[in-house]
Amino acid sequence: MPVNPQKGEREEDFISRCIGEEISAGKEQEVAAAICYSYWRKDKMSKLRTSQERVSAKLKYAKDFRGINLQAAGLEDACWEGYIAIGTKILDGREVPNCVPEGENMESVQPQIDSSYAGEPMSGSTQLVAVEGELVIHGYHTKNFKMCPGATALFEHILTMPLEEEYIGMVRSAAQVADNVFGIEKRVIESESATEEDLKEAILLVGDFKDIIEEIDEETGMIHDTSFMDGHIVKINSYLE
């Protein structure tokens, strides 16, 4: 039976109570946390009044719980069919299963983009310059973007947007973080070997990248699918010693 928030119950109190009940029912800590946050989110979504709020909440829910099997008893079954668990990720301060699409070609998938701003032609723009398959993004010269058409497409769209200086810096930071992920992957492929530290670093960096893009999207009214980054984690994991 679902554990429901009580009237006036604070989030931290509910999550703590719920996790205790789910663990008593045989769930592992990480799975229990994911289940309880899903209960809390669904309860809050049911109380939203406007369609815009509901759509935004549903998109975030789908992103945060993507691939996670909320009926699983343990980490071995923590992901739905077609996904694999590669470590854990932090969701609202708790560890939950990190479920990514199974397969090694996700990094080549073009991201889905939705925006109320159609963009402007980039002809003559100094924001993005192709240099032997690499890009110059607001002054940052990428080194490994040729490995990821999805990242190139995403930044090509973002850079058509009229952004304030604060978000220009965030775009540049996101590009640097993504480049570091691709750098790890490139090194791993060349050496045909990956370590646990390589994998952990890549998972943290991908999480940071997604957080930055999500914040940019929230402020600019855009929606960028960053799931292609999971493919790079899968690739690195495939070389794990």
The pLDDT tens digits of the residues spanning 175-199 come to 999 999 999 999 999 999 999 999 9
Q: At 93, is the secondary structure helix, strand, or coil? A: coil
Q: Would you say 112 and 225 are in contact if contact means Cβ atoms under 8 Å apart?
A: yes
pLDDT at 215: 86
Pairwise pLDDT comparison (144 vs 92), residue with the higher score: 144
Please state, rounded to an integer, the average pLDDT across all residues of the chain.
83
Looking at residue 239, its amino acid is: Y
Question: How far is Cα 155 from Cα 174, in angstroms, rounded to an integer?
Answer: 9
Length of the chain: 241
pLDDT at 121: 38
pLDDT at 104: 46
148-164 pLDDT tens trace: 988 988 888 888 777 88
Alpha carbons within 13 angstroms on the beta-carbon side of residue 113 total 21
Nearest to 168 by CA among 187, 140, 148, 141: 140
Looking at residue 112, its amino acid is: Q
60-79 pLDDT tens trace: 888 888 889 998 888 889 99
pLDDT at 120: 42
Report the Cα 122 to chain-centroid distance in Å.
Answer: 27
Percent pLDDT > 70 in the chain is 86
Give bridge partners of residue 13 from the DSSP assignment. none
Return the top range by mean pLDDT from 31-35, 45-49, 124-128. 31-35
Q: Is the pLDDT assigned to residue 26 strictly greater than 80? A: yes
